[in-house]
Amino acid sequence: MEENINSNDSLAPRPTGPHISFPITSLIIGIVVAVVIVTIIIVNLAHTPTNTNQLPQESPIMPNPTTSNTAPAPTTKLNSGYEMPVLGLGTWTLDNETAENSVYTAIKVGYRLIDAAQYYGNEAGVGKAMKRAIDEGLIARKDIFITTKVMPSNYSRAYASIDESLAKLQTDYIDLLLIHQPGTNNRATYKALEQGVKDGKIRSIGISNYYTPNELNEVLSFATITPALVQNENHIFYQNTELLEYAAKDNIKIESWYPFGGRGHTEESFTNETIVALTEKYHKTPAQIILRWQIQAGYIVIPGSSNPDHIAENFDIFDFELTSTEMNDIAAINKNQRYENW
């Protein structure tokens, strides 16, 4: 607003109060701005959470629950041409519900090898866990390696039992199918497995509970597809290096069940003085030391557990390596002592 000046202004009396150097309107504007700033600060403070529980749900940076922080285990190439993880989860004694929960947990941890069997009665649980993990985007079918076994009572109908396993596992192929143990119809049973490979239902085949070169040679005498793997009892007290070295000539892998000696014998393995000394050096558990030894010795290993903490513990073995001297020290524990007679 312009100031109105006229000739009578010069006759008006001068102010007698103190001298003011800026107009009154500037003072008012300054006060208003200050009030606005203070108001904004107060409003912001009122809406600032005092702890993380008050944050909106999408604000915290949380790990994705459908992904694993652990890389999958290393793999080894079978004589069939397929890659197989060197560490997996065994499911012996787990019922369907327990197997489903344990396998799903294992997949989240990083396991990509799961061992099942018709005899265990838990193929359906394994299949549900695998499907759930696939549906949730944890894995693709090609990322997981499923082993199962034809049980002795199915040897006379081995080929038909393959389709039954496929249905329970909810898959269109089995990565590895084994003869569970020597029986009365080994040749015909093995031929059924070979037919399953030819028909695209099985990728690799093998045998379980064959312990000597002579027993392996019997299968080799009639096999047109060389067994990819022999699954046996192996632990620090029964190392069976004779079969390990003999099978290696045909690139046949040896896989260890009961890597800790089996139920009733784990304490003997875990308290062995050589193992205990290594736990102190590497700050690892006895189970981790033994599994690391097995893998470095050339075995594939499938410790079983339904305990989520133990499942995770058994997988945490790829951040250290035993020396050749330490490997020899563990080899010296061997007593050629088996605990089962299957």
- Residues with Cβ within 8 Å of residue 342, at least 6 apart in sequence: 181, 209, 233
Q: Is 299 among the catalytic positions?
A: no
- Give the integer Cα–Cα distance in Å for 74 and 60: 33
Q: Answer for the pair 129, 100: CB distance below 8 angstroms, yes or no.
A: yes
- Give the integer Cα–Cα distance in Å for 271 and 102: 26
Q: Answer for the pair 96, 116: CB distance below 8 angstroms, yes or no.
A: no
- Give the other-Cβ count within 10 Å of 336's Cβ: 10
Q: Answer for the pair 222, 269: CB distance below 8 angstroms, yes or no.
A: no
Q: CA torsion, points 161, 162, 163, 166, in degrees to nearest 10? A: 120
- Give the integer Cα–Cα distance in Å for 329 and 275: 9
- Give the other-Cβ count within 10 Å of 187's Cβ: 12
Catalytic: which of 82, 104, 111, 120?
120
- Give the integer Cα–Cα distance in Å for 36 and 46: 15
Bridge partners (DSSP) listed for residue 174: 202
What does the block give as tokens for 280? 């102190």
What does the block give as tokens for 152? 């002795």
Q: What share of the chain is helix, strand, coil (3-state, %, to 5)?
A: 45, 15, 40
- Give the other-Cβ count within 10 Å of 148's Cβ: 29
Positive or negative torsion for Cα 126, 131, 132, 138: positive
DSSP reduced 3-state for 115: strand
Which residues are annotated as catalytic?
A: 120
